[in-house]
């Protein structure tokens, strides 16, 4: 959606958004931004006939580029695009698990049919090339980007009051869905180590998911329940970010970690695991610290180092904001995608008009 909106605003390409789902405000947002769309209302893998309206649209409008996202859409986008003879097929991959035979087979199909494959980090790109054995020239890294505006953020004092957090508490936050690969256990174990120093800390866990109940139980078992807050799902995390002093991520694997960009947008220093594409965002000792996945003691040590040094927090937060502006804004992302579109059309011998 963000890419479609960016393309529409730049005026260089006219996007048409296609989705297999509906609802959730999708249509309203597309219409508000003047973006044409097609909803296939596909429910099952076997609903192949639902793609006929898309094939008809591709042929009638003489669509020149299909840009799809993630495994299922990449597969069907490349197949449908080939049937409709769309000249440029671009697949976009985001932090996928390559451990299954199914993903290997489907990715090989996508790689063979696509002209270009976009990855959100160099780490993801290299892993794909090694696993699939595809031409490296076909694989391109374009980093995710976010808006650097902070509209609608409530005052920090109000948000602290809403969660019952005292002014003198240092707030350590993690924003991530509750899933095994996000490894909230490491965050809670680090919290226990930090709290053993008897400092004034609150640990804020923002998000929802299947491992949340077990993590709530772990918090109680560790005896840190009075210093941990599970917010549940937050529709707009930017409403909570102002009260976080230190942003954390404990993933075992990560394509890039877009939440890191959100921390940086709010000038927050980061303590994160050194996994996947994360070190392409968090520069050790510059805008944050990196620790090995699962190393909760090192994570606790880095949290304490930042908690005890306000000047260090401020300096790293500002460095993060500067890095964000230089590499990770939504404008930069859309510009890089448009350049790839231009190059791909030229390589296919097709004009933009």
Arithmetic mean of pLDDT, 305-322: 98
| H-run or E-run covering 4 | helix 2-10
pLDDT in tens, 19-34: 876 666 778 888 998 9
pLDDT at 352 over 60: yes
Are the C-beta atoms of 133 and 127 separated by less than 8 Å?
no
Q: Which of 5, 53, 57 is nearest to 30 (CA)?
A: 5
Instruction: Name the least confident of 40-49, 64-73, 189-198.
Output: 40-49
pLDDT tens per residue, range 249-306: 999 999 999 999 999 999 999 999 999 999 999 999 999 999 999 999 999 999 999 9
Q: Would you state the pLDDT for residue 347?
A: 96
**Mean predicted confidence (pLDDT) in 160-185:** 95
Measure CA of the first residue to CA of the last residue in the chain; give whole Å: 23
3-class secondary-structure state, position 318: helix
Averaged pLDDT for residues 225-238? 94
The whole-number pLDDT of residue 84 equals: 97
Rounded Cα distance between 121 and 268, Å, is 22
Helix (H) or strand (E) holding 312: helix 310-327
pLDDT at 150: 64
Q: What is the pLDDT of residues 42-59, one digit of tens each?
A: 777 667 888 899 999 999
Query: Residue 149 in contact with residue 143, Cβ under 8 Å?
Result: no
Higher pLDDT residue, 189 or 39?
Answer: 189
Mean pLDDT (the chain) is: 93
The residue extents of the domains of the chain are 2-145+330-347, 156-327
Say if residues 159 and 239 touch (Cβ distance below 8 Å). Answer: yes
**Residue 15 · residue 334 · CB < 8 Å:** no
Yes or no: is domain 2-145+330-347 CATH 3.40.50.150? no
| DSSP secondary structure code for residue 115 in this structure | S
Q: Does 156-327 carry CATH code 3.40.50.2000?
A: yes
> Is the fold of 2-145+330-347 the same as that of 156-327?
yes
């Amino acid at each position: 959606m963000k890419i479609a909106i960016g393309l529409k605003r730049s005026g260089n390409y006219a996007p048409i958004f296609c989705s297999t789902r509906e609802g959730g405000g999708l249509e309203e947002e597309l219409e508000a931004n003047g973006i044409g769309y097609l909803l296939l209302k596909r429910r099952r893998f076997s609903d192949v006939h639902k793609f006929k309206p898309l094939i008809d649209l591709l042929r009638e409008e003489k669509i020149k580029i299909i840009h799809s996202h993630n495994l299922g859409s990449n597969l069907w986008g490349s197949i449908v695009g080939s049937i409709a003879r769309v000249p440029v097929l671009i697949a976009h991959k985001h932090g996928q698990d390559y451990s299954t035979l199914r993903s290997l087979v489907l990715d090989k199909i996508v790689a063979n049919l696509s002209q270009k494959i976009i990855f959100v980090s160099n780490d993801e790109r290299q892993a794909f090339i090694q696993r699939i054995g595809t031409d490296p020239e076909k694989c391109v890294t374009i980093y995710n980007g976010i808006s650097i505006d902070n509209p609608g953020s409530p005052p920090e004092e109000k948000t602290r009051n809403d969660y019952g957090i005292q002014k003198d508490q240092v707030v350590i936050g993690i924003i991530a869905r509750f899933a095994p690969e996000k490894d909230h256990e490491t965050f809670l174990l680090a919290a226990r180590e930090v709290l053993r120093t008897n400092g004034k800390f609150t640990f804020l866990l923002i998000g929802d998911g299947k491992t949340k109940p077990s993590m709530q139980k772990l918090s109680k078992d560790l005896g840190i329940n009075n210093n941990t807050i599970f917010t549940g799902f937050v529709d707009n995390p930017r409403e909570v970010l102002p009260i976080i002093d230190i942003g954390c991520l404990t993933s075992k694997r990560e394509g890039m970690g877009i939440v890191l960009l959100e921390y940086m947008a709010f000038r927050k220093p980061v303590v994160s695991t050194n996994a996947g594409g994360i070190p392409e965002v968090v520069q050790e000792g510059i805008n944050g610290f990196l620790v090995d996945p699962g190393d909760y003691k090192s994570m606790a040590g880095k949290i304490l180092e930042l908690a005890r040094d306000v000047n260090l927090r401020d300096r790293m937060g500002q460095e993060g904001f500067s890095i964000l502006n230089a590499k990770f804004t939504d404008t930069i992302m859309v510009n890089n995608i448009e350049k790839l579109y231009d190059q791909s059309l030229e390589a296919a011998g097709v004009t933009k008009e």
